[in-house]
């Protein structure tokens, strides 16, 4: 006969009493903070992106959304750790119908793993934990990553580079070139990742395309991608060009360039500050003179059938948002990306 609990039923700390003749089974009692379970994380008890179920409820989901609630590398206004929650909440208005252009919905293909539990005070520590977590998810699902500041993209590219065993093509929407040689005296941060990815061979510089670049920078920094063989379409280059017809030559040039990579996998990294602050005020480093939401929508729609392997959307900082403009734009851009991947080819005109 097994020993009975010496304390009343269900009252033993760290144990579970299963009956008078069943021994207490010790339960794992941990300090949540030791597992990086911070209060700002979105768990799967919250509705997922597009109200998607948690990954545990749909383990074979084609597409999985994961939040990376890190903003420890922000140079101006912090707050993008709250971005994943705000983007998910805004997405709940998009889950009851089809995309108006592509006539599809990704709702039945989607799961949400919540926000990943990561160290919160060390960039190198965060990246060291994120990369293997990302690798595990990439091996099973098409991933959408919700940041977080843009320093999260480097470990993601490392994981994708290892999985595909070749340098990637990169399409990068941003107000900032993110090719600084250091992060305000620190070796790495949210403004250095593109340079680091090129130097590490994670992306092919000739197959790297930047849209919306317009911030102040030294010429050798701002033009780094171009000097390495890539394409840059600055905010000025794109002024007044919104419709498919107005952007057709740019999209054709991008297609031609990426086609030279012989079926190279293409990764999308979208910083919400590519948008003008009139469209996305909720971000850490706003830059006037940016793109409209319609411009970015058109580019994603026209380039929907590239060989996308995943995307991240970074730098939504809800504390500075107004009327949820930024999180609504972010959710709609992710939704458009997901619907575009499902749409038939050739692309619509």
Same domain, 157 and 273: yes
Q: Is 197 helix (H, G, I), strand (E, B) or coil?
A: helix
Report strand pairing: 25-26 vs 142-147: unpaired
Same domain, 255 and 284: yes
Yes or no: say if 167 and 202 are a contact pair by the CB < 8 Å rule: yes
Which of 137, 132, 149, 136 shows the shortest CA–CA distance to 112? 137
Which of 321, 226, 337 shows the shortest CA–CA distance to 277? 321
Same domain, 158 and 24: no
d(CA 314, CA 19): 50
Residue 35 within a domain:
no
The residue behind tokens 């409820």 is 57
Same domain, 15 and 67: no
Average pLDDT, 10 consecutive residues per value, the chain (349 residues): 35 36 39 62 75 95 97 92 96 90 96 95 94 98 96 97 98 94 77 94 98 95 96 97 98 95 92 98 96 98 97 97 97 98 71
- Across the beta sheet with 308-314, the strand order is 110-115, 63-68, 142-147, 308-314, 266-271, 168-173, 203-213, 231-234
Same domain, 106 and 204: yes
Report strand pairing: 110-115 vs 25-26: unpaired
d(CA 273, CA 285): 7
Residue 124 within a domain:
yes
Residue 189 within a domain:
yes
Q: Give bridge partners of residue 210 from the DSSP assignment.
A: 172, 232
Residue 34 within a domain:
no
Look up residue 266 and give its DSSP letter: E
Same domain, 3 and 103: no
Residues contacting 43, CB < 8 A, separation 6+? 114, 115
Same domain, 143 and 122: yes
Same domain, 298 and 330: yes
Which of 126, 108, 122 shows the shortest CA–CA distance to 58? 108
pLDDT score, position 103: 95
Q: Is 171 helix (H, G, I), strand (E, B) or coil?
A: strand
Residue 348 within a domain:
no
Q: Is 263 helix (H, G, I), strand (E, B) or coil?
A: coil
**Paired tokens of 30:** 């941990």
Same domain, 247 and 314: yes
The domain that holds 332 is classified in CATH as: 3.40.800.10
**Paired tokens of 272:** 């919400």
Residues contacting 214, CB < 8 A, separation 6+? 175, 234, 235, 236, 287, 289, 290
Same domain, 142 and 221: yes
Yes or no: say if 64 and 141 are a contact pair by the CB < 8 Å rule: yes
- Does an H or E element contain 26, and which? strand 25-26
The residue behind tokens 């060009």 is 241
- Total number of domains constituting the chain: 2
Same domain, 159 and 16: no
**Range of 194's domain?**
40-342
Same domain, 52 and 77: yes
Residue 347 within a domain:
no
Q: Give bridge partners of residue 146 from the DSSP assignment.
A: 67, 313
Residue 349 within a domain:
no
pTM, entire model: 0.86
Burial environment of residue 331 by CB neighbours within 10 A (0 to 12, 13 to 18, 19 or more): buried
pLDDT score, position 127: 95
- Number of Cβ within 10 Å of residue 118's Cβ equals 22
Query: Helix 83-91 to helix 325-342 angle, to the nearest 10 degrees?
Result: 70
Residue 112 within a domain:
yes
d(CA 43, CA 47): 9
């Amino acid at each position: 006969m097994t020993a009975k609990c010496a304390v009343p039923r269900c009252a033993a700390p760290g144990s579970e009493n299963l009956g008078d003749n069943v021994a207490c089974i010790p339960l794992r009692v941990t300090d949540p903070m030791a597992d990086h379970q911070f209060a700002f994380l979105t768990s799967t008890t919250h509705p997922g992106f597009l109200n998607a179920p948690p990954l545990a409820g749909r383990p074979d989901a084609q597409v999985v959304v994961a939040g990376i609630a890190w903003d420890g590398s922000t140079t101006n206004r912090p707050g993008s750790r709250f971005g994943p929650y705000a983007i998910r909440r805004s997405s709940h208005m998009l889950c009851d119908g089809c995309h108006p252009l592509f006539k599809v919905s990704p709702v039945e293909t989607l799961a949400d793993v919540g926000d990943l539990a990561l160290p919160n005070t060390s960039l190198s520590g965060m990246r060291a934990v994120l990369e293997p977590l990302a690798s595990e998810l990439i091996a099973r699902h098409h991933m959408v990553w919700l940041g977080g500041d843009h320093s999260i993209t480097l470990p993601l590219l490392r994981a994708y580079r290892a999985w595909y065993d070749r340098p990637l093509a990169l399409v990068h929407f941003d107000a900032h070139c993110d090719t600084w040689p250091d992060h305000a005296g620190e070796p790495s941060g949210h403004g250095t990742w593109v340079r680091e990815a090129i130097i590490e061979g994670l992306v092919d510089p000739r197959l790297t395309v930047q849209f919306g670049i317009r911030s102040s920078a030294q010429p050798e920094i701002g033009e780094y991608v171009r000097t390495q063989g890539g394409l840059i379409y600055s905010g000025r280059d794109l002024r007044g060009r919104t419709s498919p017809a107005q952007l057709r030559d740019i999209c054709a040039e991008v297609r031609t360039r990426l086609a030279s990579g012989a079926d190279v996998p293409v990764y999308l990294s979208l910083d919400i500050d590519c948008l003008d602050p009139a469209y996305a005020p909720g971000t850490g480093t706003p830059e006037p003179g940016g793109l409209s939401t319609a411009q970015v929508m058109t580019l994603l729609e026209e380039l929907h059938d590239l060989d996308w392997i995943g995307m991240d959307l970074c730098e939504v900082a809800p504390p500075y948002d107004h009327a949820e403009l930024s999180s609504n734009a972010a959710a709609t851009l992710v939704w458009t990306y997901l619907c575009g991947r499902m749409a038939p080819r050739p692309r619509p005109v």
